Structure 1
């Protein structure tokens, strides 16, 4: 078997050079800035959510808590199935 260029160091030098990162005057690597973009859909959802401290929401939450404590809170299995299907269809 013949091996071409057994003393080839060109690839080693290229590998070593690829690890170099730009360093500023202070000797530290410059860091980027973090940025958050909120979609228009998320902003719309945020506008639609009721204020958690509103009297209507507090009354509804208290009513649901009472039903759960009494054991009279029931959810339709059809509603659960619809929500599950719509969730899995989005994925």
Structure 2
């Protein structure tokens, strides 16, 4: 007695799923990734490069103020900047 008849109705080729997966994978492989940088991001990049010397000077001043203990944190300004994020 045969348990797996090859010509029965609804017979499934066990390799068909593998073949379908390979074909789908090949189609996905043909797609290419794409990156788009917004105009705002480009503007930020150019401004950050242009003010590199000023930024370095400002950072050094902040480091010195923190090291000497004269740096003052304005809690009101920090709270104003955080408030929009906390409202969401």
Question: TM-score normalised to the size of structure 1?
Answer: 0.57
Where is the helix percentage greater, Structure 1 or Structure 2?
2
Instruction: Within 5 Å, give how 1:60-71 maps onto structure 2.
Output: 60-71=58-69
**1:25-47 C-alpha deviation (Å, 9 max, x unpaired):** xxx72512121011122222223
- Counterpart position of 1:45: 44
Runs of 4+ in 1 over 6 A off after TM superposition: none
- Counterpart position of 2:78: 80
Kept in 2, the 8 Å contact 1:50–1:57? The answer is no
Question: TM-score normalised to the size of structure 2?
Answer: 0.58
1:83–1:47 Cα change, 3 Å = same
Question: How many residues matched?
Answer: 75
RMSD, matched Cα: 3.4
Gapped runs of 5+ residues in structure 2? 1-9
